[in-house]
Every structure is written in structure tokens, then in C-alpha cells.
Amino acid sequence: MKLIAIDLDGTLLSRNKMISKENAEAIQKCQEQRHVIAICTGRSIVDIERLLLEANLQCPIIAENGALIYTNQKMMKRYPIQNKQAFEIVEYLEQNRMYYQLYTDRGVYVPAYGEESVNHEIEWIKRSNKDMDQQELEVIAALYLEHTAFHITESCKSILAEEIYVHKLLPFSYNIEKLQKLKRHFQHNTELAITASYWHNLEINHRDAQKGNGLYTLAEHLNIPVENTVAIGDGLNDISMMEKAHMSIAMGNAVDEIKKICHYETRSNEEHGVAHALYQYVIEKK
């Protein structure tokens, strides 16, 4: 029995943000052979459950970069950020009018100024004549702005004064210098883990809320030895699970940093790379 941790965006999901029939069938074949497929992603639990339902799949879940671990549709572990620390981060983001998403046990909150902030950044890029595709910028913006499950609020600071669990903060900006400055401001806080899934965001979690820790915790819970663990991913926030899994597989579209540390490379997410990897390295041929 193996435990296979699979990322979503850029990995299991194709460009249309769906799990392909080919990938779903490969996962089901793994499960038929009694292997455990776990979804390991920065996305919210609500997002993940919807995607799995659409693909007719049931899997353990390591959500929000490892802040939440679910088995049998019940939470078994949570690593929240202290509300005081979350308040300091939100205060910084709002003072600098940076768009962000606040992941909590009550859902995902975004500031009311968020869309205006993103549009201002797109205009800033146009004015500065940066060599960036405008259509691509708008597609990226839609990934952050178009979400029916968001709660829009004037400020998240008042929410953090209540009894609420904060799982993750996701700041977004096209201005890389802004993100680097934000990271430098908080990187000395040893209670936090700061990673990124794309060049245009940061993901801020509790220091123990990392995909690698989630993989270890789930493996221990299921009595699966570490030497029977596999990780498949593409982005920088997958590094911890790639380093801790016994076998690591980079997507064909993965960033170079991931490809350099992985044992194997599969096809891209547009070519059903997850299915290809499972058939090649996990599923036993009869």
C-alpha cells in the first residue's frame, strides 16, 4: 500500500480547472489496488470537495498547504495561525492596499477594495510598458477575484477579534517587489511558514502547516511507512512534500526548482501527467 499526495493547480487540474477523465480513472485504479490517494493543495476545503465531487472521487485531503487534514470527510488535524499574528499581517496588507484572501474555518474572506486594487495594478503595468500579456493578466486576476464562496468585507481586522481559526493568508500582486517586501517584513517570525504557489502570490501559514508535514501526519495516521510515500506536484509550495516523500515526481510544466529536486518527471497537466505517472510508477500491471 502506498500513499500518493497529489497537488491540484498545475498538477491534477488541467487549464480549465477540472480533473480530467484520464486522471480520475487512474486515481480510481490506484484505489482499487488499495493505494491511498491524498489531495495536497493550497486550496480551501470547500473548493477541494467540490472538485472531487465533480470527478466522482473520494480521497483524504491535506488542505490550505497543510493547515487542515481530513480523512473520511472529518477533520483530524488543524494548524492555525494565531489571530494576533494574522491581525498584524492583515494590517500590513490593508495599509498597503494589497489584495489578499483570508482562509478561515468560516470560509474565505477578501477585502472590499480587492478588485479595485488588482485593476490598478493592471493599469500600472500598462503605463510602465512592462512586457506582459494583458489577456494573461486578466486571466490570472479572474482566478483570484471570481469565486462565489468568498465573503467580501471592508476589513478583516474586526473578524480576527472574534473566535475564529485562521488557516492561511494569500496575498496577491503583479508587483514582485511588493511581495518580496512583504516576505522580508514577516520572514523573521519563526511561527510562520511563507511559500508561494505562483510568481504573483505568497502563501502564509503556521510553521507546521506545510504539505510535507501533512504527508507525514497522514502516513502515520494510516500506518503507511515513509518509504511507501509518493508526491506529485509543480509549484514552490510543493517543495516540502517533494523533499519528504520517498518518491517525488515533477510535472512536465513544473518550475525548475521542483524539477531539480525530484526523482522523476512526468507529462504536463494538459497531457494528463498525473495519470501517466500513476500508471508508470504506482499501478501494478497485471
Q: How far apart are CA 158 and CA 87, in angstroms?
A: 9
pLDDT tens-digit map of 137-178:
666 666 666 665 789 899 999 999 999 999 999 999 988 899
CATH of the domain at 8: 3.40.50.1000
In a domain, 224, yes or no: yes
Catalytic annotation on 105?
no
Look at the chain and report how many structural domains it folds into.
2
Q: What is the DSSP letter of 1?
A: -
122 and 72 housed in the same domain: no
Q: Is 98 helix (H, G, I), strand (E, B) or coil?
A: coil
Q: Are residues 89 and 183 in the same domain?
A: yes
Task: Find the angle CA(229)-CA(58)-CA(18) to the nearest 5 degrees.
Answer: 95
Give yes or no: residues 216 and 197 share one domain: no
Whether residue 75 sits in one domain with residue 213: yes
Q: Are residues 167 and 97 in the same domain?
A: yes
Single pTM value for the model: 0.87
Q: Does a structural domain hold residue 286?
A: no
Same domain, yes or no: 249 and 194: no
160-166 LR contacts (CB < 8 Å, sep 24+): 160/83, 160/86, 160/87, 160/90, 161/83, 161/87, 164/83, 164/104, 164/105, 164/106, 165/78, 165/80, 165/104, 165/105, 166/80, 166/81, 166/82, 166/83, 166/86, 166/102, 166/103, 166/104
pLDDT digits (tens, 9 = 90+) for 57-113: 999 999 999 999 999 889 999 999 999 999 999 999 999 999 999 999 999 999 999
Q: Say which of 7, 9, 47, 234 is annotated catalytic.
A: 7
Q: Which of 206, 237, 261 finishes a domain? A: 206
Boundaries of domain holding 191 = 83-206
Do 156 and 221 fall within a single domain? no
Same domain assignment for residues 138 and 180: yes
